[in-house]
């Protein structure tokens, strides 16, 4: 899954485990969900107790999503359709029966109808127009439209769950009456799901041909602009510093759909899409985040911490986290990566860094564990009915 999907799923799961009956309504499915001729118009998945996902497989949303995704066009089309009442019947039924509605990102706006008096909340993933300014391929008109949608958000929602201080500050400046609380729910994850298992570590490292003294640094992510920029940085470093990496027995593990297929070239080990990230995190010795662009926060940082991995990251890469440089992670800028790796190697062995990572997790657990983070935010949010 992408970082956004991890955030959405973790948030919904935390609500279900807090005692709410949760329906995730997905307006469109993945490419492989569609067949011709269409065999069904929806799919329903019982994820766990109290948590169901219903996926609309009608072409009314599936086809535009495919077309606009291919040309990297933002989902302003979806926002327009929903604001004009163009929605699947099943979504209308779900909203009519719901007690609370949450919009996942600003492209799913509050909908006009008899339900307009119900509590309606926004889950923010980032300030979308900031991301479009960096990776919007020059589409100024659509970027301006997204900015306007985001500026309008504070007057439309009962409250907003921010992902980081950046979007919290943005929405607060657009709420002059200070009606909203705008609590922060960081890109937290279910910490228990990432508990490393020694058998996973041994198996994955054996499959990768790594010895006990080899150190594996994982960089995980989806095929997303900021991740691709960071991957280019690592590739260049691995080429220029091949002798250094070989001498220190350091390897970069590029984990997930950021690359379409597995490959190996010197210190660069690429997995492609994998069914689970946990075994690969267990096999790693540190979490690496060379990201220098983007908006919001990086889920990978929270996955690293939940997996009890020490973090090596750019300062920009830790935005939206509670981490402090040097106390909680090794900080570097792109030109300083070699120095950061030397610091990691010199500081201690695996036992040292595992104890270091456990200490970081314990000190920041309430903002790293999604259940705690959501529970705290619900108490703070304006008008959210407690279960």
- Per-domain boundaries in the chain: 3-186+371-380, 191-368
Kind of pairing between the strands at 286-289 and 120-123: unpaired
Q: Are the C-beta atoms of residues 316 and 204 closer than 8 Å to each other? A: no
Q: What is the predicted pLDDT for the residue at 37? A: 64
Kindly state the tokens that stand for 387.
Answer: 């279960």
pLDDT number for residue 264: 96
Map residue 180 onto helix, strand or coil: coil
The parts of the chain modelled with pLDDT lower than 50 are: none
| The pLDDT of residue 108 | 95
Q: For the domain bounded by 191-368, which CATH number is listed?
A: 3.40.50.2000
pLDDT given at position 35: 77
CATH for the stretch 3-186+371-380:
3.40.50.2000
pLDDT in the model for residue 38? 67
Non-local (6+) Cβ contacts of 121 within 8 A are 100, 101, 102, 103, 157, 158, 159, 160, 161, 381, 384
Question: What pLDDT, on a 0 to 100 scale, did the predictor assign at position 62?
Answer: 92
Q: What is the pLDDT of residue 352?
A: 97
Position 138 scores a pLDDT of: 64
Tens of pLDDT along 197-208? 999 999 999 999
Q: Is this model's pTM higher than 0.85 or not?
A: yes
pLDDT score, position 263: 96
Q: Do domains 3-186+371-380 and 191-368 have the same CATH topology?
A: yes
pLDDT (0 to 100) of residue 318? 96
């Amino acid at each position: 899954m992408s970082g956004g999907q991890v955030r959405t799923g973790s948030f919904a799961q935390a609500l279900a485990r807090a005692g709410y009956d949760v329906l995730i309504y997905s307006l469109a499915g993945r490419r492989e969900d569609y067949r011709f001729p269409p065999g069904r118009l929806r799919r329903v998945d019982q994820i766990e107790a109290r948590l169901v996902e219903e996926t609309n497989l009608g072409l009314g949303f599936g086809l535009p999503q495919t077309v606009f995704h291919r040309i990297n066009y933002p989902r302003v089309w979806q926002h327009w359709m929903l604001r004009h009442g163009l929605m699947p019947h099943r979504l209308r039924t779900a909203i009519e029966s719901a007690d609370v509605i949450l919009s996942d990102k600003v492209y799913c706006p509050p909908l006009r109808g008899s339900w307009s008096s119900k509590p309606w909340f926004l889950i923010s993933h980032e300030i979308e127009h900031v991301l479009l300014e960096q990776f919007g391929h020059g589409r100024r008109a659509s970027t301006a439209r997204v900015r306007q949608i985001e500026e309008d958000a504070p007057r439309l929602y009962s409250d907003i769950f921010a992902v980081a201080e950046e979007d919290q500050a943005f929405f607060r400046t657009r709420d002059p009456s200070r009606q909203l609380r705008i609590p922060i729910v960081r890109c937290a994850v279910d910490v228990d799901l990432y508990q490393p298992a020694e058998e996973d570590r041994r198996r994955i490292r054996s499959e990768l041909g790594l010895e006990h003294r080899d150190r594996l640094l994982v960089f995980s992510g989806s095929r997303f602009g900021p991740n691709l920029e960071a991957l280019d940085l690592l590739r260049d470093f691995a080429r220029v510093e091949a002798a250094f990496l070989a001498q220190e027995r350091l390897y970069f593990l590029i984990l997930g759909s950021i690359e379409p297929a597995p490959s190996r070239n010197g210190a660069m080990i690429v997995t492609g899409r994998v069914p689970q990230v946990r075994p690969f995190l267990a096999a790693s010795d540190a979490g690496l985040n060379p990201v220098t662009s983007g908006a919001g926060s990086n889920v990978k940082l929270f996955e690293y911490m939940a997996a009890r991995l020490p973090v090596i990251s750019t300062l920009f890469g830790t935005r939206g986290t509670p981490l402090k440089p040097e106390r909680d992670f090794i900080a570097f800028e792109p030109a300083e990566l070699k120095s950061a790796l030397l610091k990691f190697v010199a500081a201690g062995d695996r036992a040292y860094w595992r104890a270091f990572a456990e200490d970081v997790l314990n000190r920041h657990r309430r903002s790293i564990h999604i259940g705690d983070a959501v529970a705290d935010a619900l108490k703070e949010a304006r008008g959210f009915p407690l279960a």
